[in-house]
Structure 1
Amino acid sequence: MVSLKDIAKACGVSTSSVSKALNGHKDISEKKKEEIIQVARDMGYMPNAAARSLKTNRTYNLGVLFTDKTQRGLTHEYFSCVLESFRVEAEKHGYAITFISQNIGGKPMSYYQHCMHRGYDGIVIASVDFRAPEVMELIEGNIPVVTIDHLFNDRTAILSDNVDGMKQLVQYIHKCGHRKIAFIHGEDTSVTQKRLASFYKTCEELKMKIPDEYICEAIYHDPKATAIKTKELLELAIPPTCIIFPDDFSSIGGINVIKDAGLRIPDDISIVGYDGIYLSRVLEPSLTTLKQNTDELGRLAALRLIELIEKPKTAIPQQVIVKGELLLGNSVKKL
């Protein structure tokens, strides 16, 4: 194992100079500091976690609170990509991540109690019922928190631009000649509220009137719920020519119902998804969708959380909005 003494010998400096460089002390020149840090990296130096924790009063462990209604866990491709990006960026800065639960060794406890028990330096929260009392306890606690896709007052949030994303989708569908556009949205969350408001606003700007029966509620990431709502839309006296699904994964349910009805996509009916996960590219036909920038969402969540931890006096709570990208597939017919 590489020691401070080994690095000092390689750099031709004292061990105290190495220690100062690795700990960011100001009484050593930037040039010399960078040189020592680079040598330490090249030699594969890893600081002792226990010693570092004692010195900095931090555990270098971040808690992740993530649940979803369909209980798919990390098989949920969108959030697994966001959290993977979060993990990679956190590890670059010397932090490990652990998932938060309400049970340790068979002993029930609240999320906040779990976090205090583990001594987390900070917490990232994604895809939960943000209104639940146990989540609010975390938000109002003393541990630095960053949320993904949900906004609280005086807390840092990393937000996918759902308003612009939905606008891009509706404008494209309209450009293809569609005026009878249905929207199956997810459950009532801040994400849904933004997408729904943007849907109506964009339709209004394009002078399209959308019948109430064209708007349906299902559940995110749930093909069965989407299948039920798709069937209802197809059975309307005047069915839509295009359906916007809650997300790419749940579109599978809608696609199966459309095919079972003897209809072809996009010849008989057009569809679009949301998220831009890998599945959207391999479906037949490929799905037109809005790709959310999962890499940037996770990376920024890690950076902002670490800033809150390491610079508590200067870090300002902020809302960071990350734009998505329209991916054109073959699922929308040009009328």
Structure 2
Amino acid sequence: MVSLKDIAAACGVSVATVSKALNGHKEISGPTTGRILAAAAKLGYMPNSAARALKTNRTYNLGVLFVDETHRGLTHEYFSLVLESFKVEAEANGYDITFINHNIGNRTATYLEHCRYRGVDGVVIACVDFFDPQVVELVQSDIPVVTIDYTFDNHVSVLSDNICGMRDLVTYVASMGHRRIAFIHGEKTSVTTNRLTSFYRTALELGLKIPDEYVCEASYHNPQKTAACTRALLALPQPPTCILFPDDFSYIGGMNVLQEAGLRVPQDISVAGYDGIYLSQVLSPRLTTLQQDTAALGRMAAQQLIDLIERPKTTLPGSTVVPGRLLKGATVQRIGKSFICCTNIDF
């Protein structure tokens, strides 16, 4: 293994000078620093992470707590895109990534114990049961934490703008003449609460009446439950003319039911999804959906977490809200003249 002493000998300088140059100290001249960096690269020098941790009291390692109850893991397209963006931003700032779990060797551990065992400098938390006592314990510890799509009091979070997203989606559907709009939503989470509240609020503002039976609870990323809700909606004496699904992947369950019933999209019934994943735009017809900005969510989560770690005294708790974008697709049919005179959405 190449040491600082080897670089010093190759450059004819002291070990202290090499150390300062590699750490960006301005007291070392530009030409000397350049010569030392070139020699380090040529010799294949790699800093010792354990030694660096002892010196800086940091491991440059970020924990990722991601528990997908649908057991799709990193095949979960929406969160995999968020985490990929988080990873890219973290690595650009010199940090590595470690996934947090319940295992330390053959022993079961809490999330906090695993974080301490791995020595992470901070943790990003996404797609978990935020009411889990172990999650709460981690959030309340001295380890810097940033949450995605959930807010704890006096902590830092990054949120997709589900309120405006649902408002834009409902407003667009209504602008296409639909008054009988149903909403199949996901399980009870803060994301669901925001979307459901925005759905009802927007409907009220637009003068739409939403019967209780038009709102059904399924689960995110669960086509089977979405299929069951779709069947129930179609069996109503007056079925909806448009169905909003909890996410693009779950729409597949509804799509299968509509096909079984001999209904064409959008000629016989209109539909819309949520997330804007790649799959939604290669289906035929292209799914009308609200695309969440996964790149910005992951990038901002990494930036906020690194700020908490490196500049804790100047980083304020709070939420960063990331707007989404309506993708009109081809699954919402115009069924009459729009009754909306004006809107904040640019069509």
> TM-score w.r.t. structure 2 length?
0.88
C-alpha contact 1:7 1:36 (8 A) present in aligned 2: no
Work out the CA distance in 2 between the residues paired with 1:211 and 1:34.
71
Work out the CA distance in 1 between the residues paired with 2:205 and 2:194.
16
Residue in 1 aligned with 2:341?
none
Relative to structure 1, the CA distance from residue 287 to residue 45 in structure 2 (aligned partners, 3 Å threshold; closer, same or farther) is: farther
Count of aligned residue pairs for this structure pair = 334
C-alpha contact 2:7 2:36 (8 A) present in aligned 1: no
Work out the CA distance in 2 between the residues paired with 1:132 and 1:208.
38
Give the C-alpha shift of residue 50 in structure 1: 2.1
Q: Which has the larger radius of gyration?
A: 2
| Deviations 1:71-91, CA, capped at 9 Å, x for gaps | 111110000110111111111
Relative to structure 1, the CA distance from residue 312 to residue 267 in structure 2 (aligned partners, 3 Å threshold; closer, same or farther) is: same
C-alpha contact 1:110 1:134 (8 A) present in aligned 2: yes
Instruction: Look up the equivalent residue of 1:245 and give its one-letter code.
Output: F
Work out the CA distance in 1 between the residues paired with 2:319 and 2:162.
14
Q: Aligned with 1:319: secondary structure? A: strand
| Deviations 1:139-198, CA, capped at 9 Å, x for gaps | 111110000000011111010011111111011101111110000010111101111111
Instruction: Look up the equivalent residue of 1:220 and give its one-letter code.
Output: Y
| Deviations 1:35-92, CA, capped at 9 Å, x for gaps | 7898699868643322211211112211111112211111100001101111111111
Instruction: Look up the equivalent residue of 2:215 and give its one-letter code.
Output: I
Q: Aligned with 2:281: secondary structure? A: helix
Give the C-alpha shift of residue 282 in structure 1: 1.2
| Map 1:26-65 → 2, pairs under 5 A | 27=27, 46-65=46-65
Give the C-alpha shift of residue 204 in structure 1: 1.2
Residue in 2 aligned with 1:201?
201
C-alpha contact 1:165 1:323 (8 A) present in aligned 2: yes
Give the C-alpha shift of residue 313 in structure 1: 2.2
Give the C-alpha shift of residue 6 in structure 1: 8.5
Structure 2: state its 5+ residue gaps. Answer: 336-347
Residue in 2 aligned with 1:307?
307
| Deviations 1:282-333, CA, capped at 9 Å, x for gaps | 1111101111111111111111111111122222222111111111211110
Structure 1: state its 5+ residue gaps. Answer: none
| Bigger Cα displacement from structure 2, 62-71 vs 3-12 | 3-12
Residue in 2 aligned with 1:76?
76
Q: Aligned with 1:316: secondary structure? A: coil
C-alpha contact 2:21 2:37 (8 A) present in aligned 1: no
Instruction: Look up the equivalent residue of 1:64 and give its one-letter code.
Output: V
Residue in 1 aligned with 2:326?
326
Residue in 2 aligned with 1:85?
85
| Map 1:1-335 → 2, pairs under 5 A | 16=16, 19-25=19-25, 27=27, 46-335=46-335
Relative to structure 1, the CA distance from residue 20 to residue 181 in structure 2 (aligned partners, 3 Å threshold; closer, same or farther) is: same
Give the C-alpha shift of residue 216 in structure 1: 0.7
What is the RMSD computed on CA atoms of the aligned residues? 2.5
| Deviations 1:209-245, CA, capped at 9 Å, x for gaps | 1111111111001000100001100100000000000
> TM-score w.r.t. structure 1 length?
0.91
Work out the CA distance in 2 between the residues paired with 1:150 and 1:309.
20
C-alpha contact 1:11 1:39 (8 A) present in aligned 2: no
Taking only the aligned residue pairs, the percentage that are identical comes to: 63
Relative to structure 1, the CA distance from residue 317 to residue 17 in structure 2 (aligned partners, 3 Å threshold; closer, same or farther) is: farther
Instruction: Look up the equivalent residue of 2:187 and give its one-letter code.
Output: E
